[in-house]
Amino acid sequence: MLHFERWKIIAIALVCLAGIIFAMPNLFSKQTVEGWPSWMPHSQLSLGLDLRGGAHLLLSMDTIELEKDWLLTLRGDVRKQLRDAKIGFTGLGIVGNSVQVRIAKPEQTERAYAELKKMIQPLGNVILGSSGEDIEVVQAGPDALTVRPTSQGMRQRLTSAASASVETVRRRVDSLGTTEPTIVRQGEDRILVQVPGFDDTRALKDVIGQTAKLTFHALHPRITGEEAKQTRVPLNYKIYPSDESEGSGDYLLQERPIVSGEDLVDAQPGFDQRTNEPIITFRFNQSGARKFGRFTKDNVGSPFAIVLDNKVLSAPVIREAILGGSGQISGSFTVESANSLAIQLRSGALPTKLTIIEERTVGPSLGADSIEAGEFAVLVGTVAVAGFMIFAYGLFGLFAVIAVLINLTLILAVMTLMGSTLTLPGIAGLVLTVGMAVDANVLIYERIREELRTGKTAISAVEGGFTKAFVTILDSNLTTLIAAIVMFWLGAGPIRGFAVTLSLGIFGTIFTAFTVTRLLAALWIAAQKTRKIPAPI
Amino acid sequence: MFKGVDFFPHGTKIPVMEWRRFCVSISLIATLLAIALLSTKGLNFGIDFKGGSLFEIQTKSGNVDIADLRSRLGELGLGEVQIQGLDEATDALIRVEQQEGGEVAQQAAADKVQDALGEEIEIRRVEVVGPAVSGELQQAGIIAVAVAMIGILLYIWFRFEWQFGIAAILALVHDIVITVGLFSLLGFDFGLSEVAALLTLAGYSINDSVVVFDRIRENLRRYKKLPLADLLNLSINEMLSRTVITSTTTFLAVFALYVFGTEVIRGFSFAMLFGILIGTWSSIFIASPFLLWVGVKRDWSGAVAKSGTAAGRA
């Protein structure tokens, strides 16, 4: 166990060196690190909200409302579908999670079934291809038909509602001018909002809760926005700025919208079947469809404006009357811009109510205090443990301390490289690692002392200590690792941060005990000039 | 070359197995007391598990007037409002119980408190946990402890024998129940970070037991004829110096955390400090006596190859 081949020594040294290099930026301020030459690593550990201060909100979508909305739309669709096909029906209603209808003349049931089947839409993105169907139509009796969302369909609704909500929330949070907010879907129906360095949750909640306004407006037939600005704005018209700075300038729009976003049911990116250029298809509910149909019929060839939060997103030209409640927006879209506009359209209004189910906010001053307290605890803990180890084992104790310091460095380096976040519980994990990591060395050293007492020479005692303690160290650390993995797997935010440092610490402990400490011990033995080496500890 | 101080006596012959009845009785009484406490007084669950809101505040000038705060917040009609001063006289913790009426009521209550605190007080930390999340966290906490225990049991079973696995888990249950019982006794907040402490404590306590088990297994191979009680005594005594030194270093580190850490990790470090003591006790006085009671396989000659290590001594 004490013989090291040259390449192994080099490898160990390289690992330690890499650890030091990658952990180093964390010791300096951000400004200092930015000034370093480009070949040096610049990444620093990101601090959790509990250390840098910030707001954390967990929002929950109302899935029941989402399903109810869909069923209401489906009921309307069924009514329209059957009326258009001139099939008489009675008892159209929502029962549980399905829409049921009775066909007046049983002999028409077959035809009604075929008609309702036309409502089925393939699932999945038009661009990405489809899989499965959103609803199913079942014949429940000689004259009874049932239309029911499939679980796949429901899941897709949820996903699309979630991505729309995330987009909306992001746009709203961005309007606060904060840096690097994290807004992600969590689980099935949750949205996590984290805004570092921002502790005014009141303002945050207000801005998230506000309703975004999506509206469709008619443009003034003759006067442009620029002209109106220079002369005067006609009655019932208003100037709206453009969302993009593409030089499209301002628009003069009718103040009263044709249709508003509450009537929009869906918007998806797609391709025009004739020209193959990217477009956005959208769908209104019944009342929206009626209003929009009337307007477009009268205004073929002229543009209308899509306005989001009082900014004009785009002003496409109406190619044909849009009567069915669904239509398409074409323009100079790319696949990406079509996709993002579709998301924005969907997210214009929040698809469902968002409820705040968890809130954790830390003010920046408390965060700073926590960092200070954490650093101090690590320092005091390390010094106390180091002092004790040197007291108990002398030079070999110092070796153990070096190993622990390298262990800490490696943990920080790996966390920096992985881009993980250091939290206050994470710091607690570091302190605990300092205390528990030396256990490996204690096991080895106590073993060496036992071997020495049986009258072995220093070399074979040290050799025996490392060899025989190995299994014990492995066993004892792996059991702790099991607990750490469980914490990471099941734990919520704060516990996870702790589990990360603790498990990295365990790997670091095993690594350093059998490379760093062992190498130092071997080097010490090799450095002894006498043939009769004194007992080292 | 400087050598360390080998301060811990070696070759001790503490007759642990002869004391086992006394020690196990103490543990048993403590465990029963803890269970009795838990079933009568119960745990003071933090907002992670119970729902509700928590505010850590600091006055902008002067000290916190807790009586004034209490009367101001009491008028809001939010049910139970606890106010607790912190180490700094300018700081305090306010806890508001879970409100009837779900998530929305929760948020409304938090807003009311923030309004009532006024401009003179800086709110340094706000936590509001609604019923949905607290329910999930509760469940996740219980599952986490259970899964960790099962994982550890399986690992030890695989590495040793089932007797060792059961012994380690018994020691572990003992540690966890008594620690939780202590939280009940002292009325400390029990939240997510305390569950993390319990899991760490589980890892630590098992760590201690495994080290002793390892030596027991080694000695079983070495002394084939030695009575089991003597063998267990010998193993525990041989490992005593290590147990004490490791417990000391871990205790030192966690003590630094307890003294210098902020309010957030106070409960965690307290649980760990106590856990280190009780984990050490249980690996000596619970796990090993259990082995004596159920007996273990004496012929481990075949197991050397199985464990595939150099642990066997000639």
Residues B147 and B105 in one domain: no
Listed in sequence order, the DSSP H helices in B121-227 are 131-159, 162-186, 192-222
Segment B196-205, tens digit of pLDDT: 888 888 888 8
Contact B206 A502 (CB under 8 A): no
The answer to whether A348 and A261 have CB atoms below 8 angstroms apart is: yes
CATH 3.30.1360.200 range(s) for chain A read 160-351
Helix (H, G, I), strand (E, B) or coil at A303: strand
- Chain A CA closest to residue B6: A392
Taking the mean position of all CA atoms in its chain, how far away is CA B231? 30
CATH number of domain containing B70: 3.30.70.3400
- Residue where the block lists tokens 């256990």: A439
pLDDT band with cut points at 50, 70 and 90 for residue B137: confident
Residue at a domain's end among B129, B151, B185: B129
Contact A355 B104 (CB under 8 A): yes
Per-residue pLDDT of chain A (537 residues; tens, 9 = 90+): 577 888 989 999 999 999 999 998 988 888 888 888 888 888 888 888 888 889 999 999 888 888 887 888 888 888 888 888 888 888 888 888 899 999 988 888 888 898 888 888 777 655 555 567 888 898 888 888 999 898 888 888 888 888 888 888 887 787 677 778 889 998 888 999 999 888 788 878 877 776 555 678 888 888 877 777 777 788 788 888 876 655 567 888 888 888 877 677 777 888 887 888 888 888 888 778 888 888 888 888 888 888 866 778 778 788 888 777 787 776 667 777 777 667 666 655 677 778 889 998 998 888 888 889 888 999 999 999 999 999 999 999 999 999 999 999 999 999 999 988 888 888 888 888 888 888 999 999 999 999 999 888 888 899 999 999 998 898 888 888 888 888 888 776 667 888 889 899 999 999 998 899 999 999 888 888 776 777 777
- Give the model's pLDDT for residue A77: 84
CATH number of domain containing B187: 1.20.1640.10
More confident of the two residues A329 and B4: B4
On chain B, the residues whose CB falls within 8 A of the CB of A396 are: 4
Please report the number of interchain residue pairs, chain A to chain B, with beta-carbon separation below 8 angstroms.
Answer: 264
Segment B52-108, tens digit of pLDDT: 899 999 988 888 888 888 888 888 888 888 888 888 888 999 999 888 888 888 888
The number of distinct structural domains making up chain B is: 2
- pLDDT over 60 (residue B312): no
Express the helix, strand and coil content of chain A in percent, nearest 5 each: 55, 20, 25
* Residue among A393, A424, A486 minimizing CB distance to B147: A486
On chain B, the residues whose CB falls within 8 A of the CB of A475 are: 159, 210-211, 214
Q: What is the CATH number of domain A6-52+364-527?
A: 1.20.1640.10
On chain A, the residues whose CB falls within 8 A of the CB of B254 are: 381, 431-432, 435
- Give the model's pLDDT for residue A19: 93
Residues B40 and B63 in one domain: no
* Residue among B199, B252, B264 minimizing CB distance to A370: B264
Angstrom CA distances, A444 to A315, A469, A505, stand at: 76, 5, 18
B241 inside domain? yes
- Give the model's pLDDT for residue A30: 82
Residues B172 and B36 in one domain: yes
**Distance between CA atoms of A448 and B11, rounded to whole angstroms?**
15
Please give the structure tokens belonging to residue A327: 């239509």
Residues B56 and B71 in one domain: yes
**Ramachandran assignment for B313, one of left (phi > 0), alpha (psi -120 to 50 degrees), beta (any other):** beta
- Give the model's pLDDT for residue B304: 47
Segment B245-299, tens digit of pLDDT: 999 999 999 999 899 887 778 888 999 999 999 999 998 899 999 999 988 877 7
Nearest 5°: the CA angle A466, B279, A514 is 15
Listed in sequence order, the DSSP H helices in A308-363 are 335-346
* Residue among B7, B128, B140 minimizing CB distance to A490: B140
- Residue where the block lists tokens 């049932």: A146
pLDDT band with cut points at 50, 70 and 90 for residue B231: very high
B196 inside domain? yes
A407-434 in b/e burial notation, b at 16+ Cβ within 10 A? bbbbbbbbbbeeebbbbbbbbbbbbbbb
Helix (H, G, I), strand (E, B) or coil at A223: coil
- The CATH label, of 3.10.450, 3.50.50, 3.30.70, 3.30.1360, for the domain at A63-156 is 3.30.1360
DSSP code string of B200-219: HHHHHHHHHHHHHHHHHHHH
Contact B262 A424 (CB under 8 A): yes
pLDDT band with cut points at 50, 70 and 90 for residue B314: very low
Residues B289 and B227 in one domain: yes
On chain A, the residues whose CB falls within 8 A of the CB of B264 are: 50, 370, 424
Residues B230 and B114 in one domain: no
**What is the torsional sign of CA A275, A276, A280, A281?**
positive
On chain B, the residues whose CB falls within 8 A of the CB of A366 are: 56, 124-125, 262
On chain B, the residues whose CB falls within 8 A of the CB of A362 are: 124-125
Express the helix, strand and coil content of chain B in percent, nearest 5 each: 65, 10, 25
Residue B61: burial class (beta carbons within 10 Å; 0-12, 13-18, 19+) = exposed
B311 inside domain? no
The helix-helix angle for A63-84 and A151-174 (nearest 10°) equals 120
Contact A487 B148 (CB under 8 A): yes
* Residue among B56, B140, B214 minimizing CB distance to A366: B56
Residue A69: burial class (beta carbons within 10 Å; 0-12, 13-18, 19+) = middle
Q: What is the CATH number of domain A160-351?
A: 3.30.1360.200
Residues B57 and B39 in one domain: no
B103 inside domain? yes
Contact A471 B307 (CB under 8 A): yes
**Distance between CA atoms of A278 and A301, rounded to whole angstroms?**
20
Residues B113 and B159 in one domain: no
Q: What is the pTM of this model?
A: 0.76
Residues B243 and B115 in one domain: no
Task: Tell me which residue range forms the domain holding B122.
Answer: 52-129
Residues B166 and B210 in one domain: yes
- Give the model's pLDDT for residue A248: 60
Residues B149 and B268 in one domain: yes
Residues B148 and B259 in one domain: yes
Helix (H, G, I), strand (E, B) or coil at A520: helix
What residues have CB less than 8 Å from A498, skipping those under 6 apart? A423, A425, A426, A428, A429, A487, A491, B193, B196, B200
- Chain A CA closest to residue B153: A479
Residue B303: burial class (beta carbons within 10 Å; 0-12, 13-18, 19+) = middle
Q: How far is A507 from chain B (nearest CA, A)?
A: 15
Q: How far is A387 from chain B (nearest CA, A)?
A: 10
CATH 1.20.1640.10 range(s) for chain A read 6-52+364-527
B9 inside domain? no
